[in-house]
Amino acid sequence: MEISRRRLLGTAGVTTAALGLFSAGLSGGAAWATPRYADDPYRLGVAAGDPTADGFVLWTRLAPDPLALDSRGGMPERKVSVAWQVATDEHFRHVVRSGRTWAVPELAHSVHAEVTGLRPDREYFYRFRTGGAISPVGRARTAPDPRGHGRLAATSFAFASCQCWYEGFYTAYRHMAAEDLDFVVHLGDYLYENGVGATAGVRGMTLDASFQRETYTLAEYRNRYALTKLDTDLQAAHAAFAWILTWDDHEIENNWAGDVAQIDGDGFPDADTAAFKARKASAMQAYYEHLPLRLPQKPQGDRARMYRRLGFGSLLDLHVLDSRSHRDDQVGGDGTKPGFDAERRDPSRTMLGAEQERWLLDGAGRSRATWNVLANQTLVAQVDQNPDPEILSSGLDMWDGYTAARDRLLTGFHERGVNNPVVLTGDIHRSVVADLKLDFDDPASPVVATEFAGTSLTSGKDGAAMDTVGRNWLTDGVNPHLKWHNAQRGYTRIRLTHRELRADYRVVPYVTSPGAPVETAGSFLVEAGRAGALQL
């Protein structure tokens, strides 16, 4: 695994530093005292997440047989002690923090070690050891000092979403791993719940029948995550940077809303609330088990606190949203269709839930950071998807299906004088740049914020710079606040200074075979103090 510039290379020998013992407090059974693994227990890679000024959370999962049908990953029903180290160099000559934690069977022998006591705005390297097996080396950077000691001049990150494993190769992640970034934001659809097909789609593999059907049980979700995380390009991007993640719909089921499932006629009793809540609990647990999330994000049954705020000095406050768990059901039976204006505009309807909405507006209003960036799932901008000016056709799963909630969001930003709000969006499998206005139907209405919607990593297979949907959206006079569209696959790179934000849309020409090159399809600038994007 080769990663350029400041990146990691291979593994290194472990030091003899004394390691403290930390108990996860879950498994009361006897420990596996002398682990001996039939294969590499780190086959799913390593990761770091949610950086703060003094640390981050470290993740791995012990799984020498990741696709074992019992979903145990080839591990016994016993807890295992895992040592971790953090160093200032990739050869671990200067270890600055170390410790031990338990990998327990209740959490699929995943590890979530929350590291503190590090210096702000510094690069660190980390690794794990258990039973003599040493993990690959990962890299993560701490956030700048929130007290503003030392004014952060700039930060760079990338955001991505929608990585359907069987519809494309993760070549874009290999390119992302070679970028000069400080962290990565993932906006959802890390996993797809659908069956992978007889040949695993474009991957050309034969898998057990359990992978051919939709995921419902904890074992099925676990094995689908394991299948996804075996991809070495995805592992490279995780190992290169700390990730900040939130979910969208496919981590559980397409277009779910709160406790309401999508009725898809597959024979599973999704319409039964209790059955769907049980499915959610399984999906949420598997999500936590496979990603670098902190303890506050650990689910309690079918509930989890995914929305949270991360600060990067005086430059950036990142508001991570969960627009699935607390929303009302979509009107009109979901989908894209005309009508339902009264239902969409119902002031009682919510996208974020009252508590999260209040948390977001109050927090953004108090923020002293130069930029307030939202990690958001579905498109905020109004989009008439029918080019006929006499017909308004709306995507009812997007914020267009919750227009009163959108009005509260944008009006709240405007009235509170929120500093430079920018929305990052996934979900739609296409890139869109939009001005977010107080009133989308009034050309004179002020622009409140800028939205950068990013394309999918692979979902939808090979894309194109323009397609029928894009032509419809950009028809003259239909959506004048939309500035740009592209339907190729890839990710978006963001660079922030106190003066400006630059967004570069990095795309690959194909994903249905590996090895695609990467290029920049479009670049945009937002000036601090002036909402709206300028194309470069």
CATH of the domain at 23: 2.60.40.380
127 and 169 fall within a common domain: no
- For residues 58 and 262, which has the higher predicted lDDT (pLDDT)? 58
User: 2: pLDDT confidence band, cut at 50, 70 and 90?
Assistant: very low
Phi, psi at residue 38, to the nearest 5°?
-70, -25
83 and 172 fall within a common domain: no
97 and 164 fall within a common domain: no
- The structure tokens listed for 226 are 């394991």
520: left (phi over 0), alpha (psi -120 to 50) or beta: beta
CATH number (domain holding residue 458): 3.60.21.70
275 and 253 fall within a common domain: yes
57 and 196 fall within a common domain: no
**Which residue among 142, 161, 188 closes a domain?**
142
Domain range for 399 is 151-535
* Mean pLDDT to the nearest integer, 450-465: 98
User: 33: pLDDT confidence band, cut at 50, 70 and 90?
Assistant: confident
218 and 356 fall within a common domain: yes
Q: Where does 331-392 show beta strands of DSSP type E? A: 336-338, 371-376
130 and 195 fall within a common domain: no
Write out pLDDT tens, residues 415-435. 999 999 999 999 999 999 999
pLDDT value of position 508 = 98
User: 176: pLDDT confidence band, cut at 50, 70 and 90?
Assistant: very high
pLDDT exceeds cutoff 50 at 10:
no
pLDDT exceeds cutoff 80 at 151:
no
pLDDT averaged over every residue in the chain: 92
Least confident of 17-21, 143-147, 340-344: 17-21
∠ Cα 172 178 179 (to 5°): 90
pLDDT exceeds cutoff 50 at 12:
no
Residues 6+ apart with CB under 8 A from 162: 188, 189, 248, 250, 426, 427, 429, 455, 456, 457, 458, 459, 460
User: 23: pLDDT confidence band, cut at 50, 70 and 90?
Assistant: very low
- The structure tokens listed for 158 are 């990338």
42 and 94 fall within a common domain: yes
- DSSP, collapsed to helix, strand or coil, labels residue 125 as strand
Q: Where does 161-270 show beta strands of DSSP type E? A: 183-186, 242-245
Query: To 10 degrees, what angle do helices 218-229 and 273-289 make?
Result: 30
* Mean pLDDT to the nearest integer, 182-188: 98
115 and 241 fall within a common domain: no
- For residues 27 and 322, which has the higher predicted lDDT (pLDDT)? 322
∠ Cα 115 117 119 (to 5°): 110
pLDDT value of position 271 = 61
Phi, psi at residue 262, to the nearest 5°?
-80, 130
Write out pLDDT tens, residues 283-297. 999 999 999 999 999
**Contact criterion met (CB below 8 Å) for 163 and 454:** no
pLDDT exceeds cutoff 60 at 266:
no
Overall number of domains in the chain = 2
**Which residue among 142, 172, 207 closes a domain?**
142
The neighbour count for residue 147, using CB atoms within 10 Å, is: 10
- For residues 146 and 515, which has the higher predicted lDDT (pLDDT)? 515
pTM summary value: 0.94
pLDDT value of position 337 = 87
351 and 225 fall within a common domain: yes
pLDDT exceeds cutoff 80 at 458:
yes
* Mean pLDDT to the nearest integer, 126-140: 97
316 and 378 fall within a common domain: yes
**Which residue among 142, 168, 191 closes a domain?**
142
359 and 434 fall within a common domain: yes
**Cα–Cα distances in Å, from 435 out to 409, 493, 497?**
14, 19, 20
pLDDT value of position 240 = 98
- DSSP, collapsed to helix, strand or coil, labels residue 329 as coil
